[in-house]
Structure formats: structure tokens, C-alpha cells
Structure 1
Amino acid sequence: MDGMGKQHDATVLQLARRVHFNTTTPGGLKADAPEKDKKMHTMRRVARFRDFDYQVWTDGSVVLDVSSGAGALVFPKEGRREKVVLGAGSVAFSYWAKCVAMEAGLKRLVDVIELSKTHRTRAVALTNSLLLRMALSTGPAVVEDAILRRIWELMRLVRIRVSVNFQFVFSHCGVPRNEAADKTAKQGNTKPQMYPA
């Protein structure tokens, strides 16, 4: 293996140490579980991250063949919440809108961390898209979609100072920050629908 291959492998290993993907649903529940159980187990999962420096909540919204929206909220442990609202494209589907939301949320996280000059930061990114989480968990060397490569590039930019933990959360079960991300995503439906592929 040449020097370039070794450098690439080292970068992938470094990213793997700083980025974690939880591959289970809260409480091991299925999608058809009662809403109260989904909320309880999701809230338990979220509570494990209350001491993290940042929580990034993302969601997407689609009005079929009309518009789509992406919303991201960055909650620092201390300080002011950051909000991103974007149009995700007029022919977008739910997965795409959720990818746009995750990219926007991580971009905002990068900006906030750069401004605060913090070191050894821990962040959790919460999404209600199992598909997005699974696609990202394949790693930076495997993803093919341009937006997934951009998301991994954002993680590469922050890997020195930030460890990011990706978590799945159930949606529409009364979890306050997830409901806020959903509302933010719906606001994106009214924004220009020009997001790049």
C-alpha cells in the first residue's frame, strides 16, 4: 500500500474514533409501538446526553411535488439556541430533506464551535431518520451521495475538537426538541427551493 493509502486509512480510523452511531431504536421499540412508550424511551435516550456541550436536532418536511423544508436546531449546554431553516428542493423526498437538515445543522455546529473556540467538545446529533443514520454509519470511504460526502467533510473539519454521537429518536410522540425541529423544517417549505444536489 502506498503512503497515500495509509494516510487515507489513518483518516478513516481517526474519524471512526470521534464519530459514533447508535444502531438501535430507543428501548428497542418498533415503529408501531404506542406513542407514550416511544416518548418515554426517547426521552430516556436524550437524557443520557444532557451533559454534552451541544445537541443538534434535525428534521425534514415534504409537501409532495411542491416543496420541502429542512430544519436544524443547535442547543448549546449554555447559551443561545441556533436555528437553521432552508428549502430543500421542490422535488425532494423525506430522506433528502433530512439529509439537508443534518448538513445544515452540522454546518451551524461548526460555526458555533469556531466562534466559541472550545476544545474537547462533545456533541450529539439527533434525527428521526434511520435511513440517514444508517447511510452515514457506512463511513466516509463508502458513501456515494454528494450530500453524504459533504456531511462527512463537515465531521472531518471538527474531528480534532469534537466527538459526535449520532442518535435515532422517534418523531411525533411529544419529545419537545424533536417537535421544535419538525416545526422548523415545516417553515422551510416556504423558503426558496434551490438547495444543491
Structure 2
Amino acid sequence: MTPGSSSDLTSATTSAAQHHPTSGRERAEEHLATLPDDAVWVWSDGSAEGGVSAGGIGALITLPSGEEHELRAPAGRICSSTRAELVAIRGALEMLLRLEGGLAESPVIVCADSQAALATLASGAGSQATALGAAVWRLLLALTDGGRRVFMQWIPAHCGIPGNERADVLAKEASSLSQDAVPTDVRSMVKAVGRSATKAWRRSWPDSFFKTIMGDRMPMPVLLESRDEAVNVHQLRAGHWSRSQSYLHRIGRRPERDCPQCSDLACPAARCLVCREGPDTPEHVLLRCPCLAGARLRLLGNIRPDPTQLRDGGAVAALSRGYLSHQQPLGYGRP
């Protein structure tokens, strides 16, 4: 394919980025072997610690003569993985243009293992929302000036492809370089502030049954057919279950002759109706009630599982169903 316009290059980028999205090393190398033999090969990679900081870029350029050139450079103290990948592509293309003055006729094959970066470029030159994306497209158009072919090729990461492995090593080495002179873009700064605020908010969560289960994580969506079951899951993990006798007694929905309402968990009115061994708090229902020992063993592998295993919404739903089924013969299946 000889791209003669920005729309042609967009098509080339899209098809390359989506080619063999799930292949391993063998399928990747099989496809790479179909590309032009006389090409300039560009292997680029970006690195960011935790995907958010200490960015580094690496690139390996191999000319048709066999001559190799390496690039390693920092990408910013605050830097996402996708940004690092795009900076790596930009740096590699800039080096290539400097090496040959942009006049060589050999096709160029740019190999990158970031589908996110390639998808960003695939939207086209006019659709770039960042200065970085626009800069990469200017370089791509400069390379294709005169009809030169440029292939943007996705490859799977960490599967032993030599060029990709060398670029990965270079990027990781570059992440330890000084970041003082590397500017940070506004988008990265805004995202960093948001991440920092979210972490601070999660660290400030009060001690609770929910925090014992989730730590500083947010729960995944609970996808169940019944809305009632989803409510049960959320309430049980939150530590306030509207089906528990202790909760209903505390709010006056389960008064008894000797105690119409109280918040004392030692009150007989708060006891578990099934085992009578303690108040039927969510902790008791999910982790301790003998009636669910078998269910916990089947679902979680232990009759006294670690609370973090309750992050599995499906397991919590099954335990709540089991507990309510034990209550039904007692006439307390529904509040």
C-alpha cells in the first residue's frame, strides 16, 4: 500500500493496529515475514512505573544495510503508559528523519506493542486531541511525502520478539534517567491530580466491614438477574443488611415484649434466628454462621474464609440466598 494522503495512512494504521490482536510470537513473526524485505524497521516501546510515573522510551532502528541505531530517553516524571508509547514512536520517527534526511525510498515498518497508542493514531491526523498525537502524525506524513509506504504494526508484548525485547530494555533503562528537563502535558497533570485525590479519599475511609473486605478498592458491578439479590450483596458488604434481625430490631421493625428497640448486639432480639449463637450481623452471616459452613467451603474453599474473598459478588449472593433459605422455615424469609 502506498499512502498518498492522510486518509490512506489512517487506513494503514488501523489495519496494522488490529492485525492479529491475540496472536503469540509465532503468528506475529509469520505476519512480519510478509512485510517488505528492504524496509527500515523501527521498534519502539514506552515504560511507566505503575502506568503513571517515571516514563521512559526506547527505540531500535534497523536500516536495510543492517546498520542499527538505539534511542533511550526519559518521557516525564508524570507519564501514563500510553503517553510513553506515543513519545517513543515520536522519538523514533524523529531519529529516523535525522538519520536519512527523510529522503530514503525504503518502506518503513514501525512496530509497537501498545494497542492504545496505535488506536489513538488510527483515528486520523485531524482527530488527534493532543499535541503529541498531532506531532506523531506530522512525522508520519513527512515520511510518506513522495509516496513512501509506512506500516504501523501492532505486535504482542513480552513474547520474545527480539526487536521488541530490545526496545523494552531500552525503555526501562530510560525510565531511571533524570526527568527534570522533560515537560509534562496538562492532560497527564489533570489525571495525576485525580489519581492522587482518589487515593487520598480511599485511604480516609473509616474502619468498617466494607474496608475489611475491599481494602482501598471499589467493588466491581454486581451483575445479577434479581435486583433484590444485588441489593443484598451491596448491603451485606457494606455491613448494614436490611434482612438481618439485629438491624430490624435496632430500627424498631422487630420489637419484642421485653425490648421494643435497641442497638445492643448482645440483646436476645438481635440474635441469629438460625443458629442463635450471636447477632446476625453481615460478618456473622457471611463468615461465621454454622448454617453456611458447607456453602462457604464449596464457594470459597474454607469454612472461615478470609474477608477479602467476599469481593466475589457471586459468592456473597449465593451465601445470602443460602441464609435466607434457612430462615424461611422459621417464617422469616422476608422482612
Answer yes or no: same fold by TM over 0.5.
yes
Could you say what secondary structure the match of 2:136 adopts?
Answer: helix
The match for 2:76 is 89
Equivalents in 2 of 1:43, 1:50: separation in Å?
Answer: 13
8 A Cα contact 1:54 1:124, kept in partner: yes
Residue 133 (structure 1) aligned to one of 118, 129, 133: 118
* C-alpha distance 81-13 of structure 1, shift in aligned 2 (>3 A): closer
Residue 147 (structure 1) aligned to one of 116, 121, 132: 132
The match for 2:255 is none
Which structure: greater helix fraction?
Answer: 2
Deviations 1:124-171 (A, max 9, x none): 111001011111011111111110011011112222243211010001
The match for 1:40 is 26
TM-score (norm 1): 0.81
Equivalents in 1 of 2:81, 2:25: separation in Å?
Answer: 22
The match for 1:180 is 166
Equivalents in 1 of 2:165, 2:36: separation in Å?
Answer: 18
The match for 1:53 is 39
Residue 73 (structure 1) aligned to one of 57, 60, 68: 60
Deviates more, 1:15-24 or 1:135-144: 15-24
Choose between structure 1 and 2 for higher RCO, CA contacts under 8 A separated by at least 6 residues.
Answer: 1
8 A Cα contact 1:124 1:166, kept in partner: yes
1:114 Cα deviation after fit: 1.0
**Across the two proteins, how many residue pairs are aligned to each other?**
176
Equivalents in 2 of 1:81, 1:195: separation in Å?
Answer: 26
The structure having more radius of gyration, on CA atoms, is: 2
Overall identity of the aligned pairs, in %: 23
8 A Cα contact 1:52 1:124, kept in partner: no
1:183 Cα deviation after fit: 0.4
What code does the residue aligned with 1:81 have?
A: E
Residue 107 (structure 1) aligned to one of 87, 91, 94: 94
The match for 2:156 is 170
Residue 17 (structure 1) aligned to one of 8, 33, 43: 8
Deviations 1:15-40 (A, max 9, x none): 333561224242x52xxxxxxx6011
The match for 2:108 is 123
What code does the residue aligned with 2:44 have?
A: T
* C-alpha distance 190-23 of structure 1, shift in aligned 2 (>3 A): closer
- RMSD, aligned CA: 2.1
The match for 1:157 is 142
Could you say what secondary structure the match of 2:152 adopts?
Answer: strand
Which structure: greater strand fraction?
Answer: 1
Could you say what secondary structure the match of 2:126 adopts?
Answer: coil
Equivalents in 1 of 2:48, 2:145: separation in Å?
Answer: 35
1:73 Cα deviation after fit: 1.0
* C-alpha distance 13-121 of structure 1, shift in aligned 2 (>3 A): closer
What code does the residue aligned with 2:82 have?
A: Y
The match for 2:271 is none
Q: After TM superposition, where is structure 1 displaced by more than 4 Å over at least 4 residues in a row?
A: none
8 A Cα contact 1:86 1:188, kept in partner: yes
